[in-house]
Structure 1
Amino acid sequence: MIVLHLSSKGFQINSETITFPASLTQLKACLNENYRTIEGKNTTVFTWDDLGILAYSKNGEVVESITVALELEAYEFSPKQTFDGIFYFNNQDIVRYYKSHKQQHVKLFKGDKSGALLVNDISAWFSVRRENINAIEISEYTPYVRGSGIPKDKYSITSLDEEVIEFIDFGFKLSVIEELMYTKGLMEPVFDLYEFADWYQEREIDIDDEGYEPIAEVEQYFKDLPIPKRLASGITDFYQDGGNDIYMNLSPFSGGAVEYWDIETAIDAKQFPNLKK
C-alpha cells in the first residue's frame, strides 16, 4: 500500500522524502515502473493506473507535481483506478483535515475556490467539483500575488490639470463614460471589471458571488473618475441599453438591469453643446 505524508518534514512517499522538481527515477523507486507515458504539447504525464497516481513534467525528465485521483475521469491520461492508499497531513487523514480546517486553506491562483493546505514550501491543492474532492495535487508552493503583471497605478484616480465636467446625475455620467470610453476610445484606461478585481488590494472582490448586484467599489470608481471638459463637445448622442459595456462592468450578471442607474434628470445635458435634443 502506498502511504503519502505531508508534514513539517516535507512530502514523503512510503517514508521517502520527495522534493520538487522530483526525478522520475526516484518516483519509479518509490512507486513502481508500471506506468504509462502520455506526451502532450507542453506537458508529459506519467500515469500509474494501478495506483491512481499521476505525475506531470514539463521536460519529460523531472516532475513538477504529483496528483492522486480520488474519482475516475475519462481523459486519456486518467488512471484506470482511484487512489486506494493512505494520505496523511501532519499525521491526520488529509481529506478530513482539509474539510475541518477551512481557515487554513490557501489560495494558489486567481479564481481558486477550493484552496490548498500548505506546509513549508509544499502545497496540496484540492480539486473540488460539486462539493466532492476528485483529486489532490502536490507541488512546490508558489505564492499567489493578486494583481501581478498589472501596473500598480492603472486604476488609481488622480486629479487632472484641466477643467473637468461636474455631474449632478450619476446615470447621465455613466452614459457619457460609455460613449467616451467604450464607443469612441477617448478615455483610458478602458475599464475591465475582471482586471480591476485582480488589481484591487483593499479586499478580494468575488465577481462570481457579487456580480448579480452593483459592486460598490466599481460604482465608486466611476463616481470618482474625472472627465475632461474638452471631451464634452464629442458627445452628440448616447443611449441606455442593458448590454452596454459600462453596465456589464458594473454588474455583469444582473441581466442588464439599467434601472440601477436610470437617468433621473437631464440637467447635465446643458454641458454638452453638441448633444442632440
Structure 2
Amino acid sequence: MFQDFNFKLVVVEKLMYGDRTLTPAFDIAEALPAADPWQYAYDRGLAYQVLPEARAYFTALEIAPDLLATVEELVLDGGLTVYQHCAPVWDGEDDLFDVGSLADLPLLPNLRRVLGSEFLSGSLQAELTSRGIEAD
C-alpha cells in the first residue's frame, strides 16, 4: 500500500502512538529475543539502522482506509516514538528517516497540515502546498 517506508512511519506515529487508534502498539523490546534493544542493536552491528524486526513489522502492517481517513495532521520530528522502536540506537543526526516521496498522499484524503515540513526537501514542501496542505 505505502510506497515510502519513512512516510508510512510518520502516519503510524500519528495513529499508533499519538491517537492510539492503530492497535496494538508495536514495542521493539517485545519483538526481540533480548531484553535490551540498545544492546541487541550494538551486539549485531545495527546501531543507527532500522532493526530488521521493526522493518518487517511496519512493512507488513496494513492500515485500513477508514483509519487513514482520520489523519488530518502529521508531525515530522526526529524524536518520534516510532523511530525509537525502529532504531533504538539513533541520534537523529542523519537521513535515516527522511521522507523521500509524497506518492502516498492520496492514502490520506483528509490531510490538511504537516508540522515540521522544514525536514522535507524544497520540492516536497512545494508539493504539499500545491495540494492545499499547510506546510508548517
State if a TM-score over 0.5 links the two structures: yes
Matches within 5 A, 1:1-277: 166-198=1-33, 206-209=40-43, 210-257=46-93, 259-276=95-112, 277=133
Shift of 1:207: 3.6
Instruction: Determine helix, strand or coil for the equivalent of 2:96.
Output: helix
CA deviation string 1:68-105 (max 9, x = no partner): xxxxxxxxxxxxxxxxxxxxxxxxxxxxxxxxxxxxxx
Structure 1 runs of 4+ aligned residues shifted over 2 Å read 207-213
Q: Which ranges of structure 1 fall in alignment gaps of 5 or more residues?
A: 1-165, 200-204
Please tell me the root mean square deviation across aligned C-alpha atoms, in Å: 2.0
Look at both structures and tell me which one has the larger radius of gyration over its CA atoms: 1
Shift of 1:259: 1.8
CA 232–258 in structure 1, closer or farther in 2 if over 3 Å, else same: farther
CA 258–189 in structure 1, closer or farther in 2 if over 3 Å, else same: farther
Shift of 1:197: 0.8
CA deviation string 1:174-200 (max 9, x = no partner): 11000000000011111111111149x
Q: Which structure features the higher share of strand residues?
A: 1
Between the aligned partners of 2:94 and 2:20, the Cα distance in structure 1 is: 22
- On the 8 A contact 2:49/2:96 being kept in 1, the answer is no
Shift of 1:252: 1.4
Between the aligned partners of 2:23 and 2:93, the Cα distance in structure 1 is: 25
- On the 8 A contact 2:32/2:53 being kept in 1, the answer is no
Q: How many residues align?
A: 107
Indicate the structure whose relative CO is greater, using CA pairs within 8 Å and at least 6 residues apart. 2
Q: Which ranges of structure 2 fall in alignment gaps of 5 or more residues?
A: 113-132
Shift of 1:245: 0.5
The letter for the 1-side match of 2:108 is: F
